[in-house]
Homo-oligomer: A and B are copies of this chain.
Amino acid sequence: MENFNFHSPTFFAFGKNKQKEVVKYIRQFGGTKVLLHYGSGSIKKSGLYDEITASLQEGSIPFCELGGVQANPKSGLVYTGIELCRKEGVDFILAVGGGSVIDSAKCIAAGVLYEGDFLDFFAGKYIEKALPIGTVLTIAAAGSEGSYNTVITNENTNVKKGATGEAIRPKFSILNPELTKTLPKYQIACGISDIMAHILERYFTNTPNVEITDRLCEAVLLNMINEGPKAFSNPADYDAQANIMWAGMVAHNNICGVGRKQDWSSHALAHELSARYGATHGAALAAVFPAWMRYNIKHDTARFVQFATRVWGLEINFTEPESTALEGIECYENFLKEIGMSLSIKDFGVVESDIPELAAKFKLGESKTIGSFVPLKTGDIEAIYKLAFK
């Protein structure tokens, strides 16, 4: 096991009606003037917007608001948010929505306290300071409610990249699974794919003997395999949605990833598909991850056999363990198909001649690589995209 630090100080309030406590937590974490940040308006349709704004008014907490966050959130709105916060003297950001809204809020929170261009953080600069953030989560997927990461798409370059910093980890997150019962099935499926991918990026490692995080990763995957289809077929199934919602946090606050090298190249490949074709993050991962697995299966067959047996309950073919390894990947592919995910990047609008350009975007040159399980060069990335082009 490798040395690590682990810190997950976010306060989580989970369950029915928990959004009614929002004012209590804003106060607890020092908010006196709030930016209410949200997406394209689904919270207005659902009544959540009215509920939150009524709570803020009743609690005498002044607020301004900025809606309009799109999926794969864009840099433009972040600049608007930073300006608004400075003008209005905002000292707390409340993100009401999914991972895109929370990620956008994290960028604003960091940008307000930074003199330079917030995009510096996406060129590798660690985020040292940010306004405090609270969230009311409306979809289980990104895990941004408990993470210290954010991902943004630069509108000028069409590059989607991540930034990190303890300062942007939410102070509190309110998770009410009831808020997810009106989600379109496609969004639920994308969330399931995203949560599982967050685990898989941690699961496929070269670090030996990290049984505790192996088992925790497998636990979350088993939960998703059990509960995902229930939520997909009946979004009103509270317990299924609750199991998924909490799994989404557990999958990404790093409790399942400590002590081991992690990979994250599938996320990088998926980000390119989101930036260029607008592919929903979870959908992009559903197409990329099985291809990544197939491409890398020979690197550590034993690990893929472990995935096949412990996660998918397959019996080992003792004379040909590689066939079991492959069967595990097929189980994962079938699972994704059953919840309506496509395994082909064609469905995002990719044409074959785009693939070299997509791979070139990583600017790896001759010697640079991405990922750690199998460090990928430009040619490997092309090959994986090609495997996902079917």
Contacts and interface: CB of A to CB of B under 8 A. Distances in A.
Interface in A355-382: none
B219 A218 contact: yes
A240 B14 CA distance: 34
A255 B18 CA distance: 19
B209 A215 contact: no
A239 B209 contact: yes
Interface string A1-33: 111111111111111111000000000000000
Residues of A in contact with B, size category: 35 or more
Interface stretch (A79-87, A100-108, A222-230): A222-230
Nearest to A237: B209
Interface string A209-243: 11111011011101100110000000000111011
Contact of A2 (B2, B12, B15): B15
How many protomers of this protein does the assembly include?
2
A312 interface: no
Contact of A255 (B1, B15, B209, B250): B250
A243 B7 contact: no
Contacts of A16: 3
A241 to B, nearest CB: 9
A11 B7 contact: yes
A90 to B, nearest CB: 25
Nearest to A14: B4
Contact of A14 (B3, B15, B209, B216): B3
A259 interface: yes
A10 to B, nearest CB: 8
A258 interface: yes
A14 B258 contact: yes
A246 interface: yes
Contacts of A7: 9-12
A247 interface: yes
Contact of A215 (B1, B12, B219): B219
A5 B11 contact: yes
Contact of A212 (B1, B213, B243): B243
A6 B12 contact: yes
Contact of A223 (B2, B6, B215): B215
A250 B6 CA distance: 12
Nearest to A6: B12
A255 B258 CA distance: 15
A13 B14 CA distance: 27
A242 B259 contact: yes
B250 A216 contact: yes
A158 B12 CA distance: 38
B14 A243 contact: no
A313 to B, nearest CB: 11
A212 B247 contact: yes
B227 A223 contact: no
Contacts of A242: 1, 209, 259
Contacts of A222: 215
Contacts of A212: 219-220, 223, 227, 243, 246-247, 250
Q: Give me the 3 closest cross-chain CB pairs, A-B, nearest first.
A: A3-B15, A9-B9, A209-B239
5 contacts: A8-B8, A211-B227, A211-B239, A213-B246, A219-B219
